[in-house]
Structure 1
Amino acid sequence: MPGLELRRLVFVTHRYVGLVMALFLLIAAVTGCLLVFRATLDAALNPSFFAIPVRPALPATELVQRLQQAHPGWRVQSFDLQTQPGQVLHVGVGALHSDGHDAIIEGADQVFVDPADARVVGMRSSGAGIDRPHLFQAIYLLHYTLLAGTAGRWLMGIVALAWLVSNGLGVWITWPRRRPWLAGWRPAWVTTRARLHRRPMPELHRVGGVWLLVPLTVLAITSVAMNFYDELFRPLVEMVSPPRVSPFDRPPATPASSGPTIGFAAAERIAIAAASTQTPSLAPVAMTDDPVHDFYDIGFAPGGTSLYEDFGRVTYSIDRHTGQLAWIDRPRLDGTGRLVLRALYPLHSGQVFGLPTRLLVLLLGVVTAGLAVTGFLPWWRRRHMRRRQAHARTPEHI
């Protein structure tokens, strides 16, 4: 019958698409689980960078000023603004060359500062490696690009697209052949002890995939969008919903714009004053020095959290020389397209609603790894059994 033949074709396609992407999904799932709590695990792995005495903390801008005075050859690129006793201040630094470009200093571009006295307690580069200081960057790049650069990113994007298609095929396979649709679909959501005993892996594969279909599909969609962000997703979204014209669309700053700057502390005060009327519920999180566009960028978020909750941070751009408020990067002012773009990372990382959604993404990572394993092992066992049977039927020749 045509219907049965089509369903069989869909089933076989689902199986072999899953087999092709199983290893890649397993890598992405395991590394993704680790990245959900990257900051906490990184601190546990590198206590020499993060473990400091609990003493009263100085303001971040004062700490940065002391750091610059102690190291005049360093250029501070970015730093956190929330300083807490017992927690290091994370500062991004570089050495400014005569050609105007930043370079790494002493093999490092990340500095960890004691918030009590601006003492440098640790330094490392942001590159990947198998040693403890660089392990989580390696895990991140393995998750995102398989440590293979642009080619690896595209490959993982194709895998994510195949994952999305596979989810749709899974729904087709479990969907009832006749009405009532929803009532007929209900058996696909449940299992029994007898079924689990008879065929545990296929049962777990089906039930786990159906119950978490929606969040797994969201994870797959955001994976596709982030892996092909500049090549496809952002241009498509901005074509449908154009963003506002911003100062970042103009050519980079010219030498004519050089001169004395107002400094980090003054820029923070100006941004806080502006935020008190524009976004009074948000607190400052981090500051970036952007000499290319001649701005200090100060990011704000609910509670001053470093996580990208909701649609991410609201950023106030302050002119480095005049102190004028030049731009507010506020997603809700740019329409639907901007909200879609800004929602990708919070949704994918689970930061959108804080701890509950981070735990959900951790669960999705575990389930995705389980789906890869429970899809692969039954096929491998059947294949091995068929080989043994074929070998047993083959006559021996002397």
Structure 2
Amino acid sequence: MGRSNAHLRKVFVKVHLYVGWVFGFVLSIAGLTGSLIVFWQPIDAALNPELLAPEGACTEAEYRSVDDLDTAVRAKMPLNGRLVSLNFPEHERPLLSAWYWIPTHGADWDDIYTLFVKPCSGEVTGSRLWNSQQRPWGGPLMSALIQLHTSLWLNEGSVLIGNHLLSFGSVLLLISILIGYYLWWPNQGTWRLAFMIRRGARGKRLNYELHKVVGVYAGGFLVLSLFTAIHLYEPWAQIIDQGVNVLSPVTDLDAAPPASRPTSDVIPISAKRAVEIGVVTLPGSRPTGIEFPADEHGVYLVTLDTGTVWKSQVSIDQYSGAVVRIQGPQRASMGDHVLGWLFPLHTGQAFGLPGRILICVVGLIPSVLYVTGILVWLGSRRRR
């Protein structure tokens, strides 16, 4: 039995080492960029004061109507642009943000642009390229960091190399962290020492102690961060959703996307009317954004803040104004709540400012583990 355990331990050491070597650097990049983009909107505003300066003496009661702001946006958009969504003003971004797409010449994808409007005056402060897959680093700094965090700048059209590298790498790193706990697991009577850096540790020993202790204390946070990140990518999102659905039914998991019923003699409702329907559907809610129908079968998608961790979405038929689907915590199953919490946990928004600060710190941990892990390995090679 002892030989079997010793052999298993050697195998686990090699797996932990090689996975860390190959994917630890990738996770370090994702972690460092994640620490920055936790507060991307305030940083973006500080870097672009002319474009994102707030409108003075402007209260929510004085905002122009959604239709007026919609008109202001479309008047400044290029003719070949397609308006995708409006994000309404919030604390960290007191301007209306409009997102529109422009076809990329010679490619099968669109470039993404943003345009900003002062909500009380309706004045457009300007627009900018946000993301181009041909040049993922070509947009503003925070956009470039977000693309580096989510795709490593390696995606091109439907070839999602960065997505696959991050998602499969995250799965392997999650396993590696669990293996790390197995390798760390102390013998009886040594638990106190297992949670602390030994006094007088220096050089190679200090590197090992740092790797061990940082990994023990931060490993749980990294597992949570990796798991919530994995859910952002396919095929893992579908696997996790179906797994949760087995334990608690997930609403509309396998349902067809909501759709409008085209009516030739009916004019589509306005964006303002769609927002009003969304608010009436969920009384006491505050609208935070609206997505426009992509085609004649598309629906308005109104996002609303109901004071809970994850936001609600109301899908509305663009012709009749009928509510096609409601997604949100108000009518959620336990499975819905589990899935709804994943992204707020990943960003730290689930626990407000303290949660975001915690995620900012956690993002630094992979680099510490990667560097100390390499130093431990180099030290062991020198001893040989």
Tell me if TM exceeds 0.5: yes
1:126 corresponds to which residue? 130
Moved more, 129-138 or 37-46: 129-138
- The answer (yes or no) to whether the contact 1:315–1:328 under 8 Å persists in 2 is yes
Report the secondary structure of 1:203's partner residue.
helix
TM (normalized to structure 2)? 0.82
Distance 1:320 1:370, change over 3 A: same
Deviations 1:84-111 (A, max 9, x none): 7993211123579xxxxxx96xx76311
59, 65, 79: which is aligned to 2:64?
Answer: 59
Larger radius of gyration: 1
1:354 corresponds to which residue? 352
- The answer (yes or no) to whether the contact 2:279–2:304 under 8 Å persists in 1 is no
Deviations 1:116-141 (A, max 9, x none): 32222121233144767433233222
Q: Equivalents in 2 of 1:169, 1:191: separation in Å?
A: 20
2:18 corresponds to which residue? 16
Q: Equivalents in 2 of 1:167, 1:221: separation in Å?
A: 12
2:214 corresponds to which residue? 208
Distance 1:192 1:59, change over 3 A: farther
- The answer (yes or no) to whether the contact 2:88–2:287 under 8 Å persists in 1 is yes
Distance 1:72 1:135, change over 3 A: closer
Pairwise CA RMSD? 3.3
1:199 corresponds to which residue? 205
Question: Is residue 173 of structure 2 the alignment partner of residue 163 of structure 1?
Answer: yes
Deviations 1:351-377 (A, max 9, x none): 112111111111111112111111112
Question: Is residue 299 of structure 2 the alignment partner of residue 295 of structure 1?
Answer: yes
Deviations 1:309-362 (A, max 9, x none): 72x211122322222333211246342333333222112121112111111111
1:225 corresponds to which residue? 231
1:223 alignment partner AA: A
Distance 1:32 1:95, change over 3 A: closer
1:306 corresponds to which residue? none
- The answer (yes or no) to whether the contact 1:22–1:373 under 8 Å persists in 2 is no
Q: Equivalents in 2 of 1:152, 1:246: separation in Å?
A: 26
1:110 corresponds to which residue? 114
Report the secondary structure of 1:327's partner residue.
strand
1:261 corresponds to which residue? 268
1:198 deviates by: 6.6
1:321 alignment partner AA: Y
Deviations 1:5-48 (A, max 9, x none): 43344334323322222211211111111121121222222223
Q: Give the structure with the higher percent helix.
A: 1
1:59 alignment partner AA: R
2:64 alignment partner AA: P
Gaps spanning 5+ residues in structure 2: where?
A: 104-108
Corresponding pairs, count: 365
Distance 1:32 1:153, change over 3 A: same
1:378 corresponds to which residue? 376
1:81 deviates by: 2.7
Q: Equivalents in 2 of 1:40, 1:217: separation in Å?
A: 28
Equivalent residues in 2 for 1:313-324, closer than 5 Å: 313-324=311-322
2:341 alignment partner AA: A
Report the secondary structure of 1:315's partner residue.
strand
Moved more, 72-81 or 265-274: 72-81
Question: Is residue 16 of structure 2 the alignment partner of residue 7 of structure 1?
Answer: no
| Identical-pair percentage | 28
- The answer (yes or no) to whether the contact 1:253–1:291 under 8 Å persists in 2 is no
1:284 corresponds to which residue? 287
1:204 alignment partner AA: L
1:235 deviates by: 4.4
1:176 corresponds to which residue? 186
